Amino acid sequence: MLGQLFFSGKKPGTQSFGQLFKLYNKSILKSDKLNRNYSEQGEWDKGFSNHYTLHLKALVDEFETERVSAALSARKKLIWLTPLFVIIPVIGWQITIWEINESDEFQGLGLYFTGLSFAAATWFIKRSVVAYQNSIKDQIFPRILSFIGDFTFSAEVADKVKQFKDIGLLPTYSTETSEDNITGEYKGVKIELFETHLQKWKKRGKNSRLVTVFNGLIINLSMNKKFSGKTLVKQDKGSVGNWFSKNSKKLENVKLEDPRFENSFEVFSSDQIEARYLLTVSFMERLFELAEIFDNAEIQLCFENNHLLMVIPLRTPIFEPGPITEPEDFIDDAQSLLKEMHLIFQIIEILKLNMKLNL
C-alpha cells in the first residue's frame, strides 16, 4: 500500500501537481471570462446551442459560484500549508541522513516520509476541488450526454477490465482503477466506454512496486450482427515485435493496400476477407481521426463475436471538468464529449454495425 501510494503512476482523474500552485494567483477567483453562449462548431454539435440554453445555461452561475468557493477554500489551505512544503523535504533529508548513518539497511524512509506527507497535504488542499469536480461529473455530464440520446454517466466503476483480459489488446495487470463509465445505445448498437488505469506488481531487488502498464480509454460496442472471425488491429512494432504481438497461432497477418495504414498498424485476423470488409478506406480514415482527437493515441482494436473493442492509451484523462483555476461554463466539456461520441457514432455508421442483414 505504501509503495502504491508513493510510486503509482498518474491515474485517470488526477490533476497535475503543478496545477495546485496556480491557486496562489488571486485572479483565478474572477469570473469575468465566462461565456454563456454556445456557438456550434460543426456536424458533431449541430443543434447543441439550443440544448445548452435549455439545460445548461441556467446552471453556469450556480456552478461558477461553487467553483470560486472551492478554489477559495483550496487557496486558503495552500497558503496556510505553504511552510510545510519547505519543512517536509528538510525533515525527509534528516531522516535519510539518519538512516544512512544509523541503519544497517537503506530503505528510503526519508523518501517515503516526504512522498506521503506531500500526498496527504495535497489531498487535504484538493478536497474541496475534488468535491466540486465530482458535482460537475454527476450533474453536468449527464445533461450534456442527454443531447445525443439516452446515455448514462457514472463516475464510479469497478472490475470492468476483467472481461476483456483474454482478447489480446491489454497487458497483464495486478490492479485496476476504473472510472467515468458512459453507457447508452446508438441505432441499436450498445456503447460502453470508461477510463481505466492498470498497474502491475514488479520486483526490483527485495522490494516490489506497482508500475503503470496501461492508462487510457476502453470502448466496447456490442451489436446484433456477429463477426465470423477475430480481427486484431495493433500498433506496428516492426517485424520481430509484430510476430510476438500476434498473440495466437490461429491469426494470420493481413496485408492492406494503404501504405499509411500499414506503416502505423499491423492487422491479424482469422478471416482475411472479413478483415478487409471491416478495414475499408473510410474506416481507416476515421481511425486516424479518432487517434488525432486523442492526441495521436496509439489506438488498438479487436473485432470478435458481436463486439468491437477499442483500446486507446491516453496521456491525460479526458472525462474531467475544466481546471478549478478557470471559469466554468461547460462549453469545453461539452465540445470534447460531443466530438468523441460523434466519432464513435461514425464508426458505427461506416461499419454498418446497426444493420443485421443475415448474409
Partner 1 sequence: MDPSSLIIVIGLVLIFALYLWYAKIIRNKNQVFEALAGIDVQLENRSNLIPNILNIAKKFMEHERDLISSVTELRTRSTADYDSDDAQAVKEHVELASALTSEMGKLMISVEAYPELKSDQTMQQAQLSYNEVETKIAAARRFYNSAVGQLNNSIEIFPGNIVAKYVNVSPMPFFEANEGSKAPVDASSILG
Stretch that binds partner 1, among 10-18, 305-313, 330-338, 350-358 (CB under 8 A): 350-358
Q: For residues 196 and 346, which CB has a smaller minimum distance to partner 1 in the complex?
A: 346
Q: For residues 236 and 252, which CB has a smaller minimum distance to partner 1 in the complex?
A: 252
Rounded Cα gap, residues 249 and 14, in angstroms:
40
Q: Which of 255, 282, 296, 315 binds partner 1 (CB under 8 A)?
A: 255
Residues in contact with 86: Cβ distance below 8 Å, sequence separation at least 6, in sequence order: none
**15 phi/psi in degrees, rounded to 5:** -105, 155
Rounded Cα gap, residues 64 and 61, in angstroms:
5
Stretch that binds partner 1, among 4-12, 26-34, 156-164, 349-357 (CB under 8 A): 349-357
User: Closest by alpha carbon to 225, among 310, 346, 303, 306?
Assistant: 306
Nearest approach, Cβ of residue 246 and partner 1 (Å)? 17
Q: For residues 256 and 291, which CB has a smaller minimum distance to partner 1 in the complex?
A: 256
The alpha carbon of 12 is separated from its chain's Cα centroid by a whole number of angstroms, namely 5
Q: Name beta bridge partners: 209.
A: 202
Q: For residues 179 and 271, which CB has a smaller minimum distance to partner 1 in the complex?
A: 271
User: On the CB side of 61, how many CA atoms lie within 13 Å of its CA?
Assistant: 1
Q: For residues 270 and 336, which CB has a smaller minimum distance to partner 1 in the complex?
A: 270
Nearest approach, Cβ of residue 266 and partner 1 (Å)? 15
Stretch that binds partner 1, among 69-77, 96-104, 268-276, 313-321 (CB under 8 A): 268-276
Question: In the range 269-328, which residues lie near partner 1 by CB under 8 A?
Answer: 272-277, 280
**Amino acid present at 341:** M
User: Closest by alpha carbon to 123, among 77, 171, 170?
Assistant: 77
The answer to the question of residue 359 lying near partner 1 (CB under 8 A) is: yes
Nearest approach, Cβ of residue 255 and partner 1 (Å)? 6
Taking the chain, what is the end-to-end CA distance rounded to the nearest angstrom? 54
Residues at the interface with partner 1 (CB under 8 A): 255-257, 272-277, 280, 352, 355, 357-359
